[in-house]
Structure 1
Amino acid sequence: MEKKMSLSQNSPARLNTLFAKRTQKMKASEIRELLKLLDQPDIISFAGGIPDPAYFPRVAFEQAMLKATSEQAAGVALQYSTSEGYTPLRDWIVDYMGRHGVSCTRDNILITAGSQQALDYLGKLFLDPNDTALVAWPTYMGALGAFNAYEPRYDRFDPQANRPIEDITADAEAAGGRVKFVYLSSDFANPTGVTLTEDQRLTVLKRAEALGCAVIEDAAYQELRYQGEEVKPMLALEIEQKGSIEECRTIYLGSFSKTLAPGLRVGWAVAAKPVIQQMVLTKQAADLQTATINQIAVNEVARGVFNEHVATLREVYGARLNAMLAALERHMPEGVEWTRPEGGMFVWVTLPKGMGGAELLVKALEAKVAFVPGGAFYADGSHTNTLRLNFSMSPAAKIEEGIARLGDVIRAQM
């Protein structure tokens, strides 16, 4: 008879007992799980915050990749490169930021693997356990996921509220830390679609100054404006106040994921040099650099078709936003409310009190329609009677059908 072998305490099967305590705060993203639904052709999905691949500048990227891998260029494109990023792309971003009122140099720019990586780096850079991160309520769940590993305490930050600075600071100190930053999406926020006015942005800067903390400005959706006038980034407003980016506490995060293509994972951070220098050290320890060939391709495509391509996205996505707002008006029962964004990719829906988004999703999937329940966007898991709808992936006819189905499901639960 074979003798059974017992698992030792250090067996691979028991390695989970060795995980750091911080891993207990790492949770699966509801969005990443829901993206699997896109493989089911009978599901009308309003779940992911995904650009429509039919409008990727495929030909431009094909040509850029061929050029990058030519005999003359492959030695650069396929080689290690600097952690700061590909210099011509950083120079393009300098010009881009200048057009939006942010005067900076390439030394103020770090190329990251999407703005999501920058969020992780900033969490690592600023947060000690029990420090306070001030966030919108609700806020981008990917930011919460990035920050959670560094064990912060979250507190609500509302630019329209006038909560005393002393109370915010006292609560942070009572929790055993300090207020380290305000994190906000200033344009067409994920998940609400709401945009901060210039007055609200100035209030954010004023309150951050009083708190002595950083401001993280997530501008992933800035280019996706379909109506209304552009509002200057908070970093631009702060430079106007202080005269130089080197005096500013705002850290601006940009991304090519929503404009050119998300799969290449190219984003950027813009900040005062000491912040960028520390982020560079963080990147060197993490992945050395963002893929050189991807940066070269993005630079080539951005210089060739960026403005024209963004104009196309604005036309297509703007029509889809209008289709969703019109469908909501037609099909939602009384008691359901929603935001009316001027851009971005999302509409935020508030259900009648007592109705839960997660429970509603179960019924909605039976009707072959999907969305993201809203509770995941709150640091405390509250406000479960909410949900997020994405409109960028679906043509008008599918939006009409999906919202009609969703309206029927909601009506049946009331």
Structure 2
Amino acid sequence: MLDWSHIYASRSSRMGASEIRELLKLLDQPDMISFAGGIPDPALFPTDVFEKAYRELFTSPAGHAALQYSVSEGYAPLREWIAGQMAEIGITCGIENIMITSGSQQALDYLGKLFISPGDTILAGWPTYLGALQAYNAYEPLYDRLEPYSNRSASDYRDAAKANGGAVKFAYALPDFANPTGETMDRTARERVLDLAGELDVAVIEDAAYQSLRYDGEAIPPILALDIERSGGIEQSRTIYCGSFSKTLSPGLRLGWVVAASPVISRLVLIKQASDLNSSTVNQMIMNSVARSAFADQVAKIKTAYQARRDAMLASLEKHMPAGVTWSRPEGGMFIWLRLPEGLDGGALLKRAVAEEKVAFVPGKAFFADGSGANTLRLSFSCSSPEKIETGISRLGKLFASALQPA
């Protein structure tokens, strides 16, 4: 067999399999309680609304256009609907500021391609979204900690990047119910990110995949909304907002969007033209129909369900976790982040949890750009009933307690 390794580009060595994608295979085991995949519950999808939309589309003259190529920017009526939604959360923009992507994951990849040269530095959370690390790693960056609550100066970040042979290019933030921690940045932290980006003269990438899933607490304006308020308009802003339908209506249609100043959108359109020409036309037309008829009701439905599951998991953690284990208390989203006592390893415990207790989770190490965080893990509550959550957390509590016992 041909040895391909010497032919691959050097950047391919930075590409690794997603631990989460691998763990999703465990969902096929009927006796496994999985808190691993950060995915929506398929039982909550509005399948009847999608069925009606497809039927109406393909019994109308527009059905022919749905099977054709389309413009790279995306289906105009869908972009108009998104612009209306953005206005409701303080982001005033036109469709010229919006591009449709094949999921927000594609947006992250395109933005990495647009901004990162080998050796440049990305400011990111510690931990941060694994999918972002995978998207950006192909472009050979370095990472530094985005610490909006610290007193680190812009010159400190700039000097560290220069010492490593590159420049800071952007700050990547998940301000609402972050994956993996479930934590939310308060307004002061969001303002601080903008201050820092302004001093460094770099972009801010706002990953807002979970923005609609707030269960309690006061809503905080998106970073882009704060940026527009400061700068006087989206064309003067430096923040790039990445949205998604995957956590609200359906991940299967693979549709997300980017909102940014028009020069950035124009560049992203060129990347899309060289990549996949346009996101699926039929999917965009269907999503436009479903979003206009069912988005508000669907979001209300899933928020009720996910809030009950979050509450059940928090109650079970209080009941079953041994002393020394701590966890986040998210106001929304799909995740709770656990920190185990030093010396315990999430990866080793996962093997035991699967083999002995039939419970799966994601070890936290994968979410750290430097491979630290061995004593952390992520739990997702989105796809488990309160009864399964109680059973699964009880089993994990017993396992963690046994691991803490002296040998």
Bin of the TM-score, shorter chain as denominator length: over 0.9
| Equivalent residue for 1:247, pick from 232, 236, 239 | 236
2:2 aligns to what SS in structure 1? Answer: helix
Conserved 8 A contact 1:86-1:296 = yes
Q: For residues 304 and 37 of structure 1, what CA distance do their matches in structure 2 show?
A: 35
1:334 aligns to what SS in structure 2? Answer: coil
After superposition, what is the alpha-carbon deviation per residue over 1:16-54, rounded to whole angstroms, capped at 9, x for unaligned?
A: 320000000000000000000000010000000010000
After superposition, what is the alpha-carbon deviation per residue over 1:241-281, rounded to whole angstroms, capped at 9, x for unaligned?
A: 11110000000000000000001000000000000000000
1:378 maps to 368
Question: Are 1:289 and 2:284 matched, yes or no?
Answer: no
Q: For residues 352 and 249 of structure 2, what CA distance do their matches in structure 1 show?
A: 35
Post-superposition offset of 1:70: 2.4
| Alignment map for 1:129-168 (pairs within 5 Å) | 129-168=118-157
1:90 maps to 79
2:396 maps to 406
1:20 maps to 9
Q: For residues 300 and 160 of structure 1, what CA distance do their matches in structure 2 show?
A: 42
Q: CA RMSD in A?
A: 0.7
1:316 maps to 305
1:38 maps to 27
154-163 or 143-152: bigger deviation: 154-163
When residues 160 and 63 of structure 1 are mapped into structure 2, their CA distance, relative to the original with a 3 A threshold, is: same
1:335 maps to 324
Post-superposition offset of 1:158: 1.1
Post-superposition offset of 1:235: 0.4
Provide the identity percentage. 59
Q: For residues 347 and 209 of structure 2, what CA distance do their matches in structure 1 show?
A: 27
1:4 maps to none
Conserved 8 A contact 1:331-1:404 = yes
Q: For residues 289 and 229 of structure 1, what CA distance do their matches in structure 2 show?
A: 37
Q: For residues 117 and 68 of structure 1, what CA distance do their matches in structure 2 show?
A: 26
> TM-score, normalising length from structure 2?
0.98
Conserved 8 A contact 1:333-1:411 = yes
1:188 maps to 177
After superposition, what is the alpha-carbon deviation per residue over 1:257-306, rounded to whole angstroms, capped at 9, x for unaligned?
A: 00000010000000000000000000000100000010111110100010
Structure 1 segments unaligned to the other structure (5+ residues): 1-11
| Equivalent residue for 2:165, pick from 176, 179, 192 | 176
1:124 maps to 113
Question: Are 1:101 and 2:90 matched, yes or no?
Answer: yes
Q: For residues 152 and 334 of structure 1, what CA distance do their matches in structure 2 show?
A: 39
After superposition, what is the alpha-carbon deviation per residue over 1:209-264, rounded to whole angstroms, capped at 9, x for unaligned?
A: 00111000000000001101111000001111111100000000000000000010
Post-superposition offset of 1:185: 0.3
| Equivalent residue for 2:203, pick from 214, 217, 223 | 214
1:390 maps to 380
Q: Would you say how many aligned residue pairs link Structure 1 and Structure 2?
A: 403
Q: For residues 16 and 90 of structure 1, what CA distance do their matches in structure 2 show?
A: 42
Post-superposition offset of 1:166: 1.1
Post-superposition offset of 1:63: 1.0
Post-superposition offset of 1:330: 0.2
> TM-score, normalising length from structure 1?
0.97
After superposition, what is the alpha-carbon deviation per residue over 1:65-112, rounded to whole angstroms, capped at 9, x for unaligned?
A: 122222512211100000000000000001000000000000000000
Q: For residues 268 and 58 of structure 2, what CA distance do their matches in structure 1 show?
A: 29
Conserved 8 A contact 1:214-1:251 = yes
Q: For residues 52 and 255 of structure 2, what CA distance do their matches in structure 1 show?
A: 18
Question: Are 1:223 and 2:206 matched, yes or no?
Answer: no
Q: For residues 261 and 96 of structure 2, what CA distance do their matches in structure 1 show?
A: 9
Q: For residues 16 and 291 of structure 1, what CA distance do their matches in structure 2 show?
A: 34
| Alignment map for 1:292-303 (pairs within 5 Å) | 292-303=281-292
2:342 maps to 353
1:358 aligns to what SS in structure 2? Answer: helix
Post-superposition offset of 1:354: 0.4
Question: Are 1:202 and 2:224 matched, yes or no?
Answer: no
Letter in 2 for 1:395: S
Conserved 8 A contact 1:67-1:73 = no
Q: For residues 349 and 15 of structure 1, what CA distance do their matches in structure 2 show?
A: 40
Letter in 2 for 1:91: E
Q: For residues 3 and 273 of structure 2, what CA distance do their matches in structure 1 show?
A: 31
Structure 2 segments unaligned to the other structure (5+ residues): none
1:238 maps to 227
Q: For residues 198 and 237 of structure 2, what CA distance do their matches in structure 1 show?
A: 10
Q: For residues 27 and 256 of structure 2, what CA distance do their matches in structure 1 show?
A: 25
162-171 or 314-323: bigger deviation: 162-171
Conserved 8 A contact 1:139-1:378 = yes
166-175 or 100-109: bigger deviation: 166-175
2:4 aligns to what SS in structure 1? Answer: helix
